[in-house]
Amino acid sequence: MIEKVIAAINSYKMIQPEESLLCCLSGGADSVALLLCLHELRYSLKACHINHNLRGEESDRDEQFCRDLCGRLGVELEVHSIDVLTFAAEHKLGTEQAARIMRYEIFEKTACDKICTAHTLSDSLETMLFNLARGTGLKGLASIPAVRGRIVRPLIECSREDVEQFLRGRGQSWVTDSTNLTDDYNRNKIRHNVIPALSRINPSLEKTIRGTLCNLREDSAFIETEADRLYTSARKAKGLDCETLLNAPDPLSGRAIKRLCGEAGHNCSRDTVNNIRRLCADGGKLTLGYGRYAVVRNGLLYIETQVEDEPYTEIGVNGQGVYELFDKTVYIKIQSYPQNDANIHKSLTYFMLDYDKIKGDIVIRNRRAGDRIKLAGRQYTSDLRKLMQSKLERSERSRSLILSDSEGIIAAENFGVAERVKITGQTKTVLFCKISFDCHNDGI
């Protein structure tokens, strides 16, 4: 088995000789074999045991076994006791999922270069069949990855039989989780019933599946790399270019769409991906559930979350100075018109207005129903609500700032100044306005 572990480490480039390792130690056969193997290979090593407190005295027995084993080997051991049932209830999770989340949170916080888990070839076969039964794609069929970030799996090419032979050869015992002996969990049903049936059809099942898994992982990795390239080329600001997606092969565009959804916290199905593709072609909006939706604006696909609008708020402008609304700072300055200023209308957050054309008091505010603006250089008046829908994400619209006087809007963040207050050759005095997210900005 040692040779298989060395070959896997080298093949998948899991570990560098100088790196420090954390061995995730449950006390079961797989994790005990992993600990012994890494110890024999003389890596810089420490272990971590999580007591899930789910099996009463048996959980305490496992913890003591790990303490005794590490003490005999001279390996540093961290032990953590967690309350899985309370965490599962608070987060509305199944016990297994809650335990896994809590375990990996502890592992990720541990100071080490690599986190070694004891997943084997047998685990990979069970996971592949489990994913197949639930419905999955290529990535699910490829099963457990050998490397995922800092997490590495040195036993990924070893069967459970390899593990037990290795331990018996060294006279090393292990503990058995009693829940693994029942068919209460779907994975156990696969282990106890499905795999034995398949093994009767193909006595070399695990050896055969090893080659299949290697092929699936290689193909999956290649497609994921190409999908990453597509995602990068299609990414524009916070969205994806619809034309780029529609011109790409479905396996690549589908992964790009799933990635965009995933970054917004939405795990989408194949049907949802297909619906989003049609949205890219036809435009519009698609509700995804859980307060999220997909929308196409200006040829870009966005995944957005429904948020509460900011209430209508306004502050008065009392001459030049610095004003704050929401998380933005507005700098106002009034002075004689500099005829050579080349930045007029070049920025949609830096405005110059003809101060003498402003009527009554100036206020800084957000949108309200009925807002309209005739932008400089246009011959028609626009509905500000529609302008915002075409350009801004849902979460930004009620926070976009507006300057208005007694006759209406004179400037709108992200859109520009009104025709009636634009700079002309007759302008004598200007109002400079700059909108910034940086409260330490020195102004205009």
Number of domains in the chain: 3
What are the tokens at 190?
């696969």
Write out pLDDT tens, residues 206-257: 989 999 999 999 999 999 999 999 999 999 988 999 999 999 999 999 999 9
Domain boundary among 215, 248, 279: 215
* Of residues 269, 235, 431, 279, the one with CA closest to residue 351: 431
Residues 178 and 33 occupy one common structural domain: yes
Eight-class DSSP state of 27: S
Residues 268, 255 contacting (CB under 8 angstroms): no
Residues 273 and 322 occupy one common structural domain: no
Residues 294 and 325 occupy one common structural domain: no
What are the tokens at 379?
């011959």
Determine whether 348 is exposed, middle or buried from the number of CB atoms within 10 Å of its CB (0-12, 13-18, 19+).
middle
Cα–Cα distances (Å) from 156 to 1, 119, 140, in that order, read 11, 6, 16
Distance in angstroms (rounded) separating the CA atoms of residues 313 and 143: 53
Cα–Cα distances (Å) from 425 to 97, 116, 245, 354, in that order, read 69, 72, 47, 10
Residues 137 and 13 occupy one common structural domain: yes
Domain with 90 in it: what CATH number?
Answer: 3.40.50.620
97 found inside a domain:
yes
230 found inside a domain:
no
Token match 């997606």: residue?
245
What are the tokens at 321?
């100075």
Average pLDDT in the 269-273 region?
A: 92
346 or 20, greater pLDDT: 20
Instruction: Report DSSP letters for 227-246, one per residue.
Output: HHHHHHHHEETTEEEHHHHH
306 or 427, greater pLDDT: 427
Domain with 289 in it: what CATH number?
Answer: 1.20.59.20
Distance in angstroms (rounded) separating the CA atoms of residues 290 and 306: 9
Residues 19 and 155 occupy one common structural domain: yes
H or E element in which residue 433 lies: strand 429-436
Residues 376 and 257 occupy one common structural domain: no
Average pLDDT in the 275-293 region?
A: 90
Average pLDDT in the 101-124 region?
A: 94
AA identity, residue 394 = R
What are the tokens at 342?
């080349």
Average pLDDT in the 28-54 region?
A: 95
Q: Give the sheet arrangement for strand 350-354, strand by strand.
A: 321-325, 328-336, 429-436, 350-354
Phi, psi of 391 (to 5 degrees): -120, -35
Distance in angstroms (rounded) separating the CA atoms of residues 122 and 161: 9
Phi, psi of 327 (to 5 degrees): -105, 25
Residues 416 and 293 occupy one common structural domain: no
Q: Residue 49: pLDDT above 70?
A: yes
346 found inside a domain:
yes
Listed ranges 159-163, 391-395, 440-444; the one with the highest mean pLDDT: 159-163
* Of residues 122, 123, 83, the one with CA closest to residue 103: 83
The count of other CB atoms within 10 Å of the CB of residue 225 is: 9
Q: State which residues form the domain around 291.
A: 237-305
Residues 408 and 354 occupy one common structural domain: yes
Distance in angstroms (rounded) separating the CA atoms of residues 93 and 231: 32
The stretches of 170-204 forming alpha helices (DSSP H) are: 186-189, 195-201
pTM tops 0.75: no
232 found inside a domain:
no
What pLDDT score does 440 carry?
42
Question: What are 116's strand-pairing partners?
Answer: 23, 152
Q: Residue 369: pLDDT above 70?
A: yes
What pLDDT score does 349 carry?
67
Residues 294 and 335 occupy one common structural domain: no
Residues 156, 121 contacting (CB under 8 angstroms): yes
Cα Rg for the chain, rounded, in angstroms? 31
Distance in angstroms (rounded) separating the CA atoms of residues 65 and 70: 9
What pLDDT score does 348 carry?
58
86 found inside a domain:
yes
Average pLDDT in the 107-128 region?
A: 94
Phi, psi of 283 (to 5 degrees): 80, 170
Write out pLDDT tens, residues 72-91: 999 999 999 999 999 999 98
- Give CA 235 to chain center in angstroms: 15
